[in-house]
């Protein structure tokens, strides 16, 4: 029985830290999430109750593996919700992720346009250490892209010492 409780605590630990506003946002997120396999998670959340042994139960599911699956799914959705909120609130990280995708998909004009916007934005605000790391890596990517488009006689302008071969580690 202790094993059952530990399994469910992962989701409940996250869910119990949500404020009432975050809980309602999470419920809206569950409704709007296209990957929820047409399962009504809000019904599951509203049917949570603790039995006399202290084990969290979901109404309508007597099977322990079904309960485990529901809590596991809810845990993954809660983690995605937290990541989504975090990315929305941090403009530098969200811009960096978008720039990473532009670079990966080889869209240099889109990359350059968004890169210039980001540089303009960050010139107005102080940059903290972790933001500086991200920005310096984006600068390196920009230099690599500029070197690719530069004429050979101008390559010395864009020489990179050392060239970071894998810049995706920053996120």
pLDDT digits (tens, 9 = 90+) for 60-117: 666 777 777 888 888 899 999 998 888 888 778 888 889 989 989 988 888 999 999 8
The percentage of residues in the chain with a pLDDT greater than 70, rounded to a whole number, is 69
Same domain, 123 and 152: yes
Same domain, 82 and 97: no
Same domain, 6 and 84: yes
pLDDT at 43 over 60: yes
CA 126 to each of CA 63, 93, 99, 129, 131: distance values in angstroms, whole numbers, following the listed order: 54, 15, 21, 10, 10
How far apart CA 59 and CA 47 sit, in angstroms, is 5
- Single out the residue in 68, 89, 110 at which a domain terminates: 89
Max CA separation in the chain (angstroms)? 78
What would the two tokens of residue 63 be?
């099977």
Same domain, 85 and 118: no
Same domain, 26 and 76: yes
Indicate the number of domains in the chain.
Answer: 2
pLDDT at 167 over 50: no
Domain containing residue 95: 91-170
């Amino acid at each position: 029985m202790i094993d059952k409780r530990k399994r469910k605590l992962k989701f409940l630990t996250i869910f119990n830290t949500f404020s009432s506003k975050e809980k309602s946002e999470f419920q809206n997120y569950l409704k709007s999430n296209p990957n929820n396999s047409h399962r009504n998670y809000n019904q599951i959340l509203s049917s949570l109750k603790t039995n006399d042994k202290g084990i969290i139960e979901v109404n309508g599911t007597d099977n322990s593996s079904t309960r485990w699956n529901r809590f596991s799914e809810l845990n993954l959705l809660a983690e995605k919700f937290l990541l989504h909120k975090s990315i929305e609130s941090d403009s530098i990280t969200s811009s960096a992720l978008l720039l990473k995708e532009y670079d990966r998909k080889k869209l240099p004009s889109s990359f350059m346009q968004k890169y210039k916007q980001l540089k303009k934005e960050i010139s107005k605000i102080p940059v903290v250490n972790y933001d500086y790391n991200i920005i310096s890596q984006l600068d390196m990517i920009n230099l690599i892209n500029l070197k690719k488009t530069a004429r050979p006689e101008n390559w010395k302008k864009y020489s990179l010492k050392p060239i970071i071969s894998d810049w995706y580690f920053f996120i």
